[in-house]
Chains A and B, each alone.
Chain A
């Protein structure tokens, strides 16, 4: 059984006087122990809301409705009450966020922000906690950890802050780590370092990692399995290599075509996906991507496309899929 099994997860936000928003609309995917899984999609596709729903971080108030299941090691996280969920968060499932500066409390020293997790979940106090916190900072590559523990977030560089957040997240050796665009706010050189660090931590500790990103480069370098999301639903799932070598869904193909490539010919243009994420069809009325799709056929509209499973374990939702290799060079590149 998978470590995390998300089944038909849906999240709707209803606000008085406004149209109900279906942010997540039937997302299913699973994560095995020690596996790195990518959730890829444009902004607004529901990837962040999915992670917040799994973490139980969506506001518990009327108007926010969460449906489906998220079984973690056999327990449905969505059914846990607030108190039990607090025990799970930070101990079994941890999360790191996009903007490291705003994600750290500006008025609390770094040390306390690290030790508070140790105290909460591992019952460590005083010198023992401080020692462990220093060891954690050291492990994520922050030099002079003892001194850094006394400093405040604004005294650290962007990369250091993200390292510190990672240290807090892995403090209790969680079995699942969710990283929501962990490198988007960082400089390119720092991005690579942080990704390398995450890879290393995952390999060493056997933690499963869910990478949420819009950046196919990040996915290519890290993930074992990739889920492509569109309009709140997974539209294609595959292991890394087949996805890049032989994408089936026109949207995935479009995403790949939007990325600048070094091996492209000089005069060759990028092929952007026309339209924007706002031009969607509601899933019950057909394929949400249909309005922007150049391979649209009559069957796309009417009812939602079924999930098609190929013999290689590759699955997609499309009635008129792309077949055959699209970009042969890609498969070699991502081996590096």
Chain B
């Protein structure tokens, strides 16, 4: 198992290397550079050239790439051309928000999706089944940003139950340690700060959960249906085992295999930035920041963030694969 993990981690390196090259070429082909973003349309050619020289963009692309890699090895991702702050600092400030949001959304999606999917399969053909299938279809078909607006309009603006924007009420004056606001609140025992951060996660979490929830319901349902038809479930029933043992040990344990894979993929996708949800709820995560970085042609931010996101994505999937081998002994660790 240990060797498997190490080998998988080593495989990540060429992938990231390839991605960094692709990114570099791709980004530098984008028309208009940071100088346009900084100066607007009015800058003189001299001013533009000065900025490009200043940022090292006048050199051949290979040299630029070499310098980027050299700094990367020292864990230095450079400085944002738009905010003038370290890319690493920007990342550490924003990524925790995205992680908190992702965790919230996935908790909702998993917590509701697996029981619902199981129930739908067990009660196949009943109203419960039809309702979950229909609900999950609609969940996939609703544009996330529209759902986000509806949730915000109803629960924040009309009913006033929940906050409509941000990650925490700034008047609380919470202490920052890790930038995971909920975690910070727990660590410093500022319970109100933790609770407030948690409340701020509910609406964006719900909006973001819609697609993962729908996917998990459907995959769980299909998978449970398949397992219910397996011979070993009949064997378990023939042994007279209680319903809960049959459900947990024999049905769900097997049915979870495809669900685990999808959870990994979904988590990876959410972590890569929920641009839409973060925009609607003015939630400071990496999504909206990245969208800005593209329009600002903020190369260091784009390169750094996307590489880290890809790394996180690969790591999440590694975790899934490892847990997969733990659930299913038949998966050979090759």
Which residues of A, 87-105, contact B by the 8 Å Cβ criterion? 87-91, 94-95, 97, 99, 102-105
Contacts A87-B240, A89-B238, A90-B241; is A108 near B330 (CB within 8 Å)? no
CB-CB under 8 A from B235, the residues of chain A are 97, 103-105, 165, 168
A168 near B231 (CB under 8 angstroms)? no
Establish whether residues A116 and B330, one from each chain, have CB atoms under 8 Å apart when the complex forms. no
A55 CA / B241 CA spacing, docked (Å): 13
Report A-chain residues with C-beta under 8 Å of the C-beta of B242. 86, 120
**Contact (Cβ within 8 A) A152 B330:** yes
The answer to whether A107 has its CB under 8 Å from any CB of chain B is: yes
Q: State whether A99 and B231 are in contact (beta carbons under 8 Å apart), knowing that A107-B327, A112-B249 are contacts in the complex.
A: yes
Chain B, Cβ-Cβ closest to A87: B240
Contact A55 B330 (CB under 8 A): no
Q: Is B59 an interface residue (CB 8 A)?
A: no
Contact in complex: B230, A102 (CB < 8 Å) = yes
Q: Which B residues lie within 8 Å of A57 (CB)?
A: 234, 237-238
Does B329 belong to the interface (CB within 8 Å)?
yes
Query: Which range holds the interface residue count of chain B?
Result: 20 to 34
B232 partner, pick from A88, A105, A121, beta carbons under 8 A? A105
Instruction: Tell me if A154 is interfacial: C-beta within 8 Å of chain B.
Output: yes
Q: Least Cβ distance of A177 to chain B in Å? A: 11
Cβ-defined contact, A117 with B232, below 8 A: no
A98 to B93, CA, bound (A): 60
Please tell me if the beta carbons of A97 and B239 are within 8 angstroms of each other in the complex.
no
Task: Determine if B245 is an interface residue (Cβ-Cβ < 8 Å).
Answer: yes
Task: Write out the residue numbers on chain B whose beta carbons fall within 8 Å of the beta carbon of A105.
Answer: 232, 235-236, 249-250, 253-254
| Cβ contact within 8 Å between B254 and A97 | no
Closest chain B residue, CB of each to CB of A99 = B231
B328 at the interface (CB under 8 A from A): yes
Q: Which among B240, B242, B253 has the greatest number of chain A C-beta atoms within 10 A?
A: B240
Residues of A within 8 A of B330 (CB): 106-107, 152, 154
Number of A-B contacts (CB under 8 A): 81
Closest Cβ of chain B to A160, distance in Å, is 16
Give bound CA distance, A152 to B325, whole Å. 13
Which listed residue, A88, A99, A152, touches B240 by the CB 8 Å rule? Answer: A88
Contact yes or no, A86 B253, CB < 8 A: no
Nearest residue (CB) in A for B233 is: A105
Q: Are A116 and B245 in contact (CB under 8 A)?
A: yes
Q: Cβ of B329: which chain A residues have Cβ within 8 Å of it?
A: 106-107, 152, 154
Q: In the bound complex, what is the Cα–Cα distance between A165 and B231 (angstroms)?
A: 12
Chain B contacts of A165 at CB under 8 A?
235
In the complex the two chains form, is A116's CB within 8 Å of B254's CB?
A: no
List the B side residues contacting A85 at CB < 8 Å: 240
Which residue of B239, B250, B254, B328 contacts A90 across the interface (Cβ within 8 Å)?
B239
| Inter-subunit contact B238/A55 (CB<8 Å) | yes
Known: A107-B254, A108-B253. A102 touches B239 (CB 8 A): no
- List B contacts of A106 (CB < 8 A): 232, 254, 328-330
Among A55, A91, A105, A106, find the residue whose CB has the most chain B CB atoms closer than 10 A: A105
Minimal beta-carbon separation of B75 from chain A (angstroms): 40
A residues 245-287 near B (Cβ < 8 Å) are none
Q: Quick one: closest B residue to A91, CB to CB?
A: B240
Residues of chain B within 8 A of A120, CB atoms compared: 239-242, 245
- Closest chain B residue to A94, Cβ basis: B238
Closest to A62 in B: B125
Q: Which of A99, A107, A152, A168 contacts B239 (CB under 8 A)?
A: A168
- Min C-beta distance of A192 to chain B, whole Å: 24
B234: chain A residues within 8 A (beta carbon): 57, 97, 103
Q: List 28 A-B contacts (CB under 8 A).
A: A57-B238, A86-B240, A86-B241, A86-B243, A87-B240, A88-B240, A89-B240, A90-B240, A90-B241, A97-B231, A97-B234, A99-B231, A103-B232, A103-B234, A104-B232, A104-B235, A105-B235, A105-B236, A105-B249, A106-B254, A106-B330, A108-B250, A108-B253, A112-B249, A116-B245, A116-B249, A120-B239, A154-B329
Given contact pairs A57-B238, A86-B243, enumerate 4 new A-B contacts (beta carbons under 8 Å).
A90-B239, A94-B239, A105-B232, A105-B253
